[in-house]
A and B are shown apart, each in its own frame.
Chain A
């Protein structure tokens, strides 16, 4: 891949959050279909490049989701996506999601860093009142990142998702704006 021209939107230490680039749609589709990546994202149906493209194409109206590419500064490559979906502008809450699509960048605290940047963006710029995340019980890596980032366990949805032949629990996490303000003091 040619080194893309990058216009960072949010600056981090090891990563930047940059706008989605439709020239990378093959890469996004690869991540979405990758068995290791899709396991806990529960993408149980294959997604074509065309479908991914449609998903990322600009839409009219107020955004119900905001997606970023996670860009590795030192290696100068996109390594995943993250953002907000199901944005409810009246109740001012949204679901946050995060996926490091390149497994060789797992366990390097890059998800933690991206998540921190997203939280500051959500409360500081989008004026959210609450940010939440649902993470399946066996996905220990992801929920320990959420806890490290200051998310509070709100409750457990019992036997709610079918993984490897059985129904497993989902852990629901929340981050309230008041907690974010306290963390900044």
Chain B
């Protein structure tokens, strides 16, 4: 990807966050359908590139309810996942954060951690949020560890909330408030 055509919106150390490029819908569709990648995101329906295109077209309302970025890996010069705020509530100043590294060979490199940190900074410093929430399924120990490592605290356990491999399992919700984040970054 040429540097001068890349729409860098947020610059990190190893990664950049870019607005979604409709030409990449096939890559996103591959991630969304991947059995391993979708395991904990609970995408239980197949998703075609056309479905994703349609979703993008519908997302025109202002202010945006969902803000979606591609995670671009600088050294590898390709997109490796996505990160988003969804259900942004502009009255309560709250939003949900989710991250997926779609390229499985890059798991374990804390790229998701870096993306989540960039988003939290963006949410508090630019979008004027006061609370950011993330959730993970109980067996997804990796995600729980990453969420806690960026300063989010367990707020709520939703018992037997999600149907997973034939049984109902718990969903854990974590959150961080702007005042806590400001304290951490002083």
> Chain A: residues with CB nearer than 8 A to chain B?
44, 90-93, 129-130, 132, 154-162, 167, 172, 174, 176
Contact = CB atoms under 8 A, between A and B. Distances in A.
- Interface on chain A toward B: helix, strand, loop, or mixed SS? strand
A181 to B, nearest CB: 14
Nearest to A132: B158
A44 B91 contact: yes
Contacts, number: 53
A172 B156 contact: yes
- Interface on chain B toward A: helix, strand, loop, or mixed SS? strand
A91 B155 contact: no
Contacts of A158: 155, 175, 177
B168 interface: yes
B156 A155 contact: yes
Interface string B51-68: 000000000000000000
Interface string B90-123: 0111100000000000000000000000000000
Given A44-B91, A167-B92, A167-B130, A157 B155 contact: yes
Given A130-B159, A130-B161, A157-B173, 9 more contacts: A91-B161, A154-B159, A155-B157, A158-B175, A158-B177, A162-B93, A167-B131, A172-B156, A174-B159
